Chain A
Amino acid sequence: MDGVPETVTAALADRQVEGQVCLEAGAGVGNTTAGLLAAGAKRVYAVTNDADHAATVRERVGDGNADRLVVIEADLRATPLGTGSVDLVTAHGLCNVLPPADLDAVAAELARVAKPGGRLVVDDYAVPPTDGAVNRLFALENAAARVVDGRPALTFYPVAVLAAVFADHGWTVEHRKTLLDPVPWTEAHLDAHADVVRGYADELPDVIGEPLAAIAADLVSAIGSERTGTMYSLAFRLVDV
């Protein structure tokens, strides 16, 4: 199994994971799923709405964990999980890909599937400083997403906003910590974001798509890499509302 990033280890450090039924909300490439399994989770439901991600997670962390890992392809606004069935929910890098309307629905669904007194860990990026060069790439990504999907690809929620949205569904903040300060946006990260832009560009007529992809490529080479902003972790507990 590939390594668990320090961000994930730090976010889970003071959480009870061993013996717990966990939901990894937005499994991505499986970093947090790997972290939960390594920390002794009884079972991990790794949920993503992306078939490729589901396959990647199975391939990367499935080996030797067949009895503990359940990868589920589903929408986090309505999962097939039972009400009050999960001890610990993790959402690592999920919220920034959820537009505000979806965020609210997801917060509600996570509250539904969690046991009373259940825990939630939300790790995400603070709003990047306005002078960050990466903002130019993120803005391009959002512009392309709006044209193609009618919704933004990325939303960086201030900590207080995120806490308030979850509070509406019974989640109260237990504590907050900083996972990364600064955030290292490496060439690999920027390339991945440029790939997203290229994905949207492919959906558009060449006359728009080609220059869009070219701008993304230019931005990546102009920025190279950048350290900016912070990544935070919020630990919540579910209380009766």
Chain B
Amino acid sequence: MASGDALQGASGPDDVLVAEGLVRRFGDLTAVDGVSFRIRRGETYGLLGPNGAGKTTTISMVAGLIAADAGTVTVAGQRMGPAEVEPKRHIGLVPQDLAIYPELTARENLTLFGRLQGLAGAALTQRVQEVIELIGLTERAKDLSKEFSGGMKRRLNIGIGLLHQPTLLILDEPTVGVDPQSRNQILESVERLSVEGMAVLYTTHYMEEAERLCDRIGIIDSGRLQAEGTRDELVRLTSGADVIRLVGTGDTAAASTALRGLPTVQQVIADRHALQLTVNDAPAAVAQIVTSATAAGMSLADVEITRPDLESVFLHLTGKALRD
């Protein structure tokens, strides 16, 4: 694991969550295989991985829904497990699958779970109202949630997790199946909560979400945490190279030879109508490259620059694409 040794340090007073060596098997399948990470107060931590990577299983152990076959979870200094009650006061869970009662209104759903979280009286009423406004359901608060659109249900699903202002908010792929507008709304609320000091554990298989929201990201695949760090730290794990793709007609062979001679170009792959160049710093090199290619007799139709992102990190680490 790339930054595994960083985890060996003593647990700090700022750690809201410490997960250590989590293992969970389902029959012969090891869904989670030795996952360790920690989240500090106010930090947003992303678990990025494809379908079946073990994100939900990890989160289920963190939230105390299922027992770990090995390893420990500590939330706000307390040991978490299915039979524990106290540490659960500190977490707010937003499950991947909608977890709302269709025959209850938005307000009733919030009130029910608010009560179960220990809120009562005027504090409960006030928090329910605040959350209804936050998730933009003021107009629909009295409607049965079964009558809601998919996006509204998702927002309600998230609102329930926020109600008691948990120390650690756990969101499991909250934007799946949501239109771009609702999605943006959701991302904005998560950003706002993080600013307010809430620690967030966010799983997704959208790298843009992970890049936008998360202070640190753990890349998970086949039940193992493949790498962990900030976006930039992770990108540095790849060769770090940018790719420039030249599309056009004319003398591509001559252009290829000319470009190979440039010091900034590390590699050139040629096919009939395109050249793919690996360079260190694409924005700096692109002007010279275009000039050389044109001078060598190639007439360019398109120039594409691809900088390494989490997608390439994932590809680099696992040899496969993030999305299926």
Q: Do A and B come from one complex?
A: no
User: A: which residues have CB within 8 A of B?
Assistant: none
User: B: which residues have CB within 8 A of A?
Assistant: none
